[in-house]
Structure formats: structure tokens, C-alpha cells
Amino acid sequence: MLTINPSGKTIPSTEGMSILEALLAAGEKIAHKCEGKAECGSCHIFVTEGRKTLSKTQRLENEKLDTLVGVSSNSRLACQAKLGNENVTVELL
């Protein structure tokens, strides 16, 4: 399951699906100007719970995060973070 803050809404998700894919499948609105290619950074989110179950951050994502303002250790690009088998909570910006 994927929980979205600040609304607290919980949506179903499938292991291996990106957070962006899960959000869009549930009808949630999230910016994604580059259509999930890690080129724009518009889908920047904060993972507040379940970070360890997500896929590891790859070079392309790290490079894009390095160019963004307001990044923290909990930052991920929703298009690049693949869900694992545990619950995850994210904060949309």
C-alpha cells in the first residue's frame, strides 16, 4: 500500500511499480513533465516511511536530485522509485 500525505489517502500498489505509476493509476495528480525519464525533477517527493523497501537510487536520479532545491535525505523522484513489498508513505510537494 502507498499512503499519500498530506491527505492521508491510501492507494493500492504493486511491487515493482514506480511510485509515479501507482499515483497515476489511482487518479492522483502529480507533476511529471518528462513522462518518467528522470530528466525534469518535477515528480520530486519525500518518502517518510518505507524508504528501505524502495529500489536503490540510481546515478541518473542522483544527478537530477543534485540539481533541485529543497532536497533532503528522504527525497526521491516518484518516476524512479520502484515499490517493494512493504508499505510506503510519501509526501507530495
Report DSSP state, residue 52: G
**Model pLDDT, residue 93:** 84
66's torsion region: left (phi>0), alpha (psi -120 to 50) or beta? alpha
Query: What's the structural domain count of the chain?
Result: 1
CATH value at residue 69: 3.10.20.30
What's the pTM? 0.95
Residue 71's domain comprises: 2-92
For 19-77, write each residue's pLDDT tens digit.
Answer: 999 999 999 999 999 999 999 999 999 999 999 999 999 999 999 999 999 999 999 99
